[in-house]
Amino acid sequence: MKMKRLDHRFIIQKLGGRLVNREKIIVIDFGGQYNQLVARRVRECNVYCEIYSYKTDLEKIKAMNPKGIILTGGPNSCYEADSPTCNKELFELGIPVLGLCYGAQLMMHVLGGKVEKADVSEYGKTEVLVDKTDSKIFKDVSDKTICWMSHTDYISQVAPGFEIAAHTADCPVATAQNEEKKLYAIQFHPEVLHTAEGTKMINNFVKNVCGCKGDWKMDAFVENTIKEIREKVGDGKVLLALSGGVDSSVAAGLLSRAIGKQLTCVFVDHGLLRKDEGDEVEGVFGPNGQFDLNFIRVNAQERYYKKLAGVTEPEAKRKIIGEEFIRIFEEEAKKIGAVDFLAQGTIYPDVVESGLGGESAVIKSHHNVGGLPDFVDFKEIIEPLRDLFKDEVRKAGLELGIPEKLVFRQPFPGPGLGIRIIGEVNAEKVRIVQDADYIYRDEVDKAVAAYKAEHGTAPSWMPNQYFAALTNMRSVGVMGDERTYDYAVALRAVNTVDFMTAEAAEIPFAVLQSVMSRIINEVRGVNRVFYDLTSKPPGTIEFE
Ligand code: XMP
């Protein structure tokens, strides 16, 4: 059988199948930290949006026929020789352009205005005074509005043809505009939620200035994608590695609705899933579930525990878990024989982070178990979610009828409990961490639900990720009249926006106490429970 070696970058580039005539905004990325946020805000206006590096050829941008262009912020000073720049012609295409922060300064600089370094930076929530209240960008925005500033350079003189549309106490040009040419330069960050009326301003740009209709909606996406998949796949066969995570589950749901039994999903239960999770995935996608597809569950628990016996080093464990997945997936693929398509749950942030989209390329250091098999006999890759952000994937999942529990799952690492058990992994330790983690999540979920019932909102301490881990420490305790020598379980809960930095969540002590008491009483082999107070950095969210 002919097997195909996959080049990961090639795969991402090779994919297509997008709707070409979709009305579209292009975000040009100058390396700022909020760039994906800009695109998300545009999408929240129901307008499709893609991010491209500032190095992207102007001809390519023209060919995409965007309804509008947004230039993002960035860390440089536009007047320095080697700073990222753009072609003056970009502003002469007749396409509306909105520059944000660095993008605003660059627009002024390129068009003949002046940008200088200020004596002091302007940072944080700042009152912006709108001078041109009839500006299209400020429609329905208050005259005095709180905006998020983060800059040291400032526009000291607007470019010819522009007028000042807003200012602050320290910044003479908070917004400059040339309404006739549909060019807007905004010094602050409307994409950040600290800018009270930022969403309104972005909506004004895409609807009032660019004239977008706003018809990018999830029900339409699901319907169109199902149609596209049918056209592309024809009567071909598709193979998908299903992890039970949100992305691969939604991909499976979409493909199933499009092509039914032409889809085969391989679900590898590596014995490092959370309690009952394997059965839950099988419940949704297996023969008694709600989707029409071929479902293969590989129960590889023993195989994994054997491979992991005696291995204590975290990276070595990660590697074994990842590689074993690939071997198992290949074995299953060989049994199935040649397929036409290999499906993947790649989502838009993966595309941007792989360096093919925007400028702020961060190559992820974590790869899901899953990853990519090296040798599988297929002709083409299909990635039905590659245009979507995570929240959009979730919306698509709900649209497809995937249970909320699965759609709103908290992040779970590919190597699973393997990296939440410090030291050697074995079946007994997996049982302990599964049971402790189940109790912990159950108690936190109950406390959150009770708070919501009383207050109508989630508590401020509501963690973004929370789980139990098993330390490798055993200590002396007493249970009844007996001396014990058992394991310590660590509870972790963090508040984070981007998972790059995090704070320990302030879970009420009473909740922690009930978790402790239940774990000690219900989980054999545990006699101590710790709460991890460490922020990230210096800690990481996971333990290994
Ligand atoms: P850390 O531990 O690096 O975690 O602070 C940040 C986020 O990434 C998840 N994580 C992983 N995800 N494979 C994954 O798919 C991994 O090896 C991995 N390690 C950490 C972690 O759960 C958190 O959300």
The low-confidence residues of the chain, meaning pLDDT below 70, are 1-21, 353-375
Whether the CB-CB separation of 255 and 247 falls below 8 Å is answered with: no
Whether the CB-CB separation of 468 and 490 falls below 8 Å is answered with: yes
Which residue is closest in CA terms to ligand 1's atom 10?
Answer: 413
Tokens of 169: 């106490």
Q: With CA atoms as reference, report the closest residue to 515 among 482, 485, 538, 493.
A: 493
Q: Check residue 369 and give its pLDDT.
A: 35
Q: Check residue 16 and give its pLDDT.
A: 38
Question: HSE on the CB side for 489, CA within 13 Å?
Answer: 29
What share of residues in the chain are helix, strand, coil (percent, to 5)?
A: 35, 25, 40
For residue 100, the CA-to-ligand 1 centroid distance in Å is 31
Which residue is closest in CA terms to ligand 1's atom 9?
Answer: 413
Whether the CB-CB separation of 291 and 285 falls below 8 Å is answered with: yes
189 labelled catalytic: yes
3-state secondary structure of 111: coil
Total residues belonging to the chain: 544
Distance CA(307)–CA(303), nearest Å, equals 6
Q: What are phi and psi of 326, to 5 degrees?
A: -65, -40
Q: Check residue 352 and give its pLDDT.
A: 76
* β-bridge pairing 263-269 and 238-242: parallel
Distance CA(75)–CA(102), nearest Å, equals 8
Which residue among 273, 315, 542, 544 is best mutated to probe the pocket of ligand 1, counting the most ligand atoms within 8 A of its Cβ? 542
The residue whose two tokens read 């199948």 is 17
Q: Check residue 357 and give its pLDDT.
A: 56
For residue 544, the CA-to-ligand 1 centroid distance in Å is 9
Q: Which amino acid is at 232?
A: K
pLDDT tens sequence across 311-365: 999 999 999 999 999 999 999 999 999 999 999 999 988 887 665 555 543 323 3
Which residue is closest in CA terms to ligand 1's atom 3?
Answer: 540
Residue 502 alpha carbon, nearest atom of ligand 1:
5
Q: 532: Cβ–Cβ under 8 A, 6 or more apart, which residues?
A: 490, 491, 492, 504, 539
Q: Check residue 351 and give its pLDDT.
A: 82
Whether the CB-CB separation of 308 and 425 falls below 8 Å is answered with: yes
Q: With CA atoms as reference, report the closest residue to 280 among 114, 437, 405.
A: 405
pLDDT tens sequence across 449-488: 999 999 999 999 999 999 999 999 999 999 888 999 999 9
Tokens of 39: 């695109």
Which residue is closest in CA terms to ligand 1's atom 11?
Answer: 413
Query: Of the residues 45, 49, 86, 101, which is catalytic?
Result: 101
Q: Check residue 370 and give its pLDDT.
A: 42
Distance CA(314)–CA(421), nearest Å, equals 10
Got the DSSP string for 184-208? EEESS-TTSTTSTTHHHHHHIIIII
| 532 Ramachandran zone, left/alpha/beta (phi>0; psi -120 to 50) | beta
Q: With CA atoms as reference, report the closest residue to 184 among 255, 101, 303, 122.
A: 101
For residue 21, the CA-to-ligand 1 centroid distance in Å is 37
Q: With CA atoms as reference, report the closest residue to 370 among 260, 205, 206, 251.
A: 251
Residue 539 alpha carbon, nearest atom of ligand 1:
5
Residue ranges lining ligand 1, Cβ < 6 Å: 318, 366, 368, 411, 413-415, 465, 499, 536, 540-542
Which residue is closest in CA terms to ligand 1's atom 4?
Answer: 541
Q: Crossing angle of helices 509-522/427-455, nearest 10°?
A: 150
482 labelled catalytic: no
Question: HSE on the CB side for 209, CA within 13 Å?
Answer: 31
Which residue is closest in CA terms to ligand 1's atom 7?
Answer: 499
277 labelled catalytic: no
Distance CA(76)–CA(84), nearest Å, equals 8
Q: Check residue 470 and give its pLDDT.
A: 98
Whether the CB-CB separation of 312 and 425 falls below 8 Å is answered with: no
Residue 412 alpha carbon, nearest atom of ligand 1:
22
Q: Check residue 34 and give its pLDDT.
A: 87
Which residue among 366, 372, 500, 535 is best mutated to probe the pocket of ligand 1, counting the most ligand atoms within 8 A of its Cβ? 366
Distance CA(521)–CA(326), nearest Å, equals 39
| 295 Ramachandran zone, left/alpha/beta (phi>0; psi -120 to 50) | beta
Q: What is the DSSP letter of 462?
A: -
Q: What is the DSSP letter of 168?
A: -
Distance CA(389)–CA(109), nearest Å, equals 33
Residue 368 alpha carbon, nearest atom of ligand 1:
15
Q: What is the DSSP letter of 500?
A: S
